[in-house]
Structure 1
Amino acid sequence: MSDPVKEFESLRNDSKLVFAVVYRGHWCPFCISYIRALKAIENRVHEAGGKTVIITSEVEKHLPGVRSATGYDGPAIVDPKNVLAEDLRKKNLVNVAISDMKLRRYKHGMAQPAVLVIQQDGTVLYSWAIVPRWMNLQGAKDRPNLYQIWDNVEAKLNGKDAVHKTYTTAGVATVLGEKFSSK
C-alpha cells in the first residue's frame, strides 16, 4: 500500500509548487466540476513549474470514473485513512475537515473539499478548506473559484498584488447546468 504523505512530499520535492485539490468522491457533482476546473488551469500551473494533484479518501476503484468524467489525468493520491489530511492539519498547512460518512463506505471518514497551493520550500501560497454546514450542503458548494485562486497565486509568484480581492463560487444551478449540458 502506498504512503499518501510520501506521495505528496515527492510531488512537492519534484516541482516548484503543488496545486492540490481535495475532493469528496465520484458521486459529488460539485467535486467533478471542481476537478474539471483544475484540469482547465493545469497548463498554467505547469508553465510556472508546478504540478497539480487531486486527493480523496474515496477508495481507488472510483478513480478511473473520476478521470473519465473530468478529463484529469494528472497525479492523484488516494488516502482512505486520511493520513495526508491529518499530516497537513498537524503542519498547519490546511485544515481538511473529515466527516463521518460510514454509510457511504468511508471507513475512516470522508475528507471534505480543500485547496492547498504550496511551494517546494513549504511556503503556502493559498490554503482553504470548507467547514461543512447546512448552508453549504454539508461541504458540497461554496468553493472558491480555482481560476481566480491561480490568478492570485501567479500574481504573488511575480511579486504583484492579488488580482482578486474575493473569490466567486459556483452555485447549485451552475454545477447542475454543467452536469446536464455534458450529457
Structure 2
Amino acid sequence: MLQEIHAAGGEVFGISSEPHTLAVEAEQEWETGFPIVGDPHHELREECSERGWIDVFANENYGHLRERKWASHPKGYYQPAVIAVHKSGRVLYRWRCVPKFTNMNGAGPRPEAAYTCDKIQAAMNSTEDAPLDREPEMGTETASWFRFMLMLTAHGWFIRPRALPLAREGDKESVNPRKVMRRVYWFLAMWLLLLVVLPIGWFGIVLLAWVVAVIPGLIEIHHQFQNEPDPY
C-alpha cells in the first residue's frame, strides 16, 4: 500500500510526541518504510490545529507509562490521528482519537488501512475539505472497558493496575493479553476456592481488604487516562 501511495505522488510521515531520537529509533526498529518525526513540544500538532486541519488530542499525564524510564513526553503524549492533505492544502481525510471508556483510552483499534485509502481516493474528486471521520471502519473490535481494566489489574498482579506499553530493546517485556487473561482465570479460581474453604465472615474480610488495596490504583489510572465523555 505504501508503494501505491508513492506511485500516486504521495508521501507518508509519522509524528510522535517523543523526542526525535526515539522517533528515529522506532522508525528503524519497526522498519516502517516512512520517516517518523519527533515532536515533543507539539509544534507540528499546533501547526495542524492553526491551519484548521486537525486538532490532535494530547494526554497531559503519562504516569501509566512509568515502567518506561526512558519515555519522554514533555507536553504530554499524542492520541492516534490520521490526516491526509492534498498539495493544494485541501484536507482529503481526517480522523482523530479521543480517549473514552468505549475505546480503551485510545488503545482500541484504528481505521482500517484500505478503508482510509478509499476515503482519500474518493475525496480527490471533491473541492471541499473532508469532514472529520467520526465513525470509521476499524481494523479490529474494541474490548469493553471492564475487560480492559481487568487486564491492566491482572498485569499489576491485582494490586496496582499497570499499562501494557511497547517495550524498548533491553526492557522487560509486558505480559501479552492472552497471558494476562490467564491470570484473571486463576485469580477467579482462587476466590472461588477461598469461598469454599473460609467461613463467610473471613471471606468477606479478605475480599474487603483486597478491594481497599486495589481502589487507589484504579483511581490513579483513571485520572492518568483522562477519558472524555462519549459525546465528545
Give the TM-score range, shorter chain: 0.5 to 0.7
Q: What letter corresponds to residue 153 of structure 1 in structure 2?
A: I
Which structure's CA Rg is the greater one? 2
Give the aligned partner of residue 44 of structure 1: 4
> For the residues of structure 2 that align with 1:92 and 1:156, how far apart are their CA atoms?
17
The higher relative CO (CA closer than 8 Å, separation ≥ 6) is in 1
TM superposition score normalised by structure 2:
0.50
Give the aligned partner of residue 154 of structure 1: 121
* Larger displacement relative to structure 2 (113-122 or 62-71): 62-71
The offset of 1:95, in angstroms, is 1.3
> For the residues of structure 1 that align with 2:142 and 2:23, how far apart are their CA atoms?
24
TM superposition score normalised by structure 1:
0.62
Tell me the secondary structure at the aligned position of residue 136 of structure 1. helix
> For the residues of structure 2 that align with 1:135 and 1:90, how far apart are their CA atoms?
29
> Which segments of 5 or more consecutive residues in structure 2 lack a partner in the other structure?
66-71, 127-134, 144-175, 177-232
Aligned residue runs from structure 1 range 83-122, under 5 A: 83-103=43-63, 104=65, 105-122=72-89
The offset of 1:54, in angstroms, is 0.4
The offset of 1:75, in angstroms, is 2.2
Residues 134 and 166 (structure 1), Cα distance of their counterparts in 2 relative to 1, 3 Å cut: closer
Aligned residue runs from structure 1 range 17-166, under 5 A: 41-103=1-63, 104=65, 105-157=72-124, 166=136
> Which segments of 5 or more consecutive residues in structure 1 lack a partner in the other structure?
1-40, 160-164, 174-179
User: What is the alpha-carbon root mean square deviation over aligned residues?
Assistant: 2.6
Give the aligned partner of residue 209 of structure 2: none
> For the residues of structure 2 that align with 1:166 and 1:80, how far apart are their CA atoms?
28
> For the residues of structure 2 that align with 1:69 and 1:52, how far apart are their CA atoms?
17
Residues 166 and 101 (structure 1), Cα distance of their counterparts in 2 relative to 1, 3 Å cut: closer
> What are the Cα deviations for residues 123-150 of structure 1, in whole angstroms up to 9, with x where unaligned?
1000111111122121121321122110
